[in-house]
Amino acid sequence: MKRGSGTSRLFRQAAGGSAVLAALSGLGAPGGAGGAERAPQLTCYQMARDSGLTDEHMATQLCRGARSTAPAQCYMRVLDEGSLTQSQALQLCQFATVENDPATCFLQARRDTFIESWRGVQLCQPPLRELLNYCPVFVH
């Protein structure tokens, strides 16, 4: 999936993201008052939505627990430069951090080897992903 035009991104943001952003806007400040600094999860979510991720559930899963915009940046890189589906990009980038960039690993593996995409995703996922398989967190 390539990035959409500026007009289509703005329309999607206005139509789909406004309600969610309005509900979450107070998360960055104590007491929900909405401060100058945004919660990193919200910033990540907005970056993912602005980059063309139209599925709110996937954007939420991508940025859940994010401490920076690293998951959204990883997601955009592998979709722009790689050959992954949205689900594979989510799986690869969901737990990306500034210190652990799975996009770089995946793109190097694709460039330097004949590894299949799904194997590259498994190889390059941050180790946290495997730990969460044993201790799932259910969000409703």
What pLDDT sits at residue 126?
86
Q: At 100, is the pLDDT very low, low, confident or very high (cuts 50, 70, 90)?
A: confident
What pLDDT sits at residue 94?
92
Q: At 41, is the pLDDT very low, low, confident or very high (cuts 50, 70, 90)?
A: very high
- The answer to whether residue 70 scores a pLDDT higher than 60 is yes
Contact 29, 35 (CB under 8 A): yes
Q: Is the pTM of this model over 0.95?
A: no
- The answer to whether residue 120 scores a pLDDT higher than 60 is yes
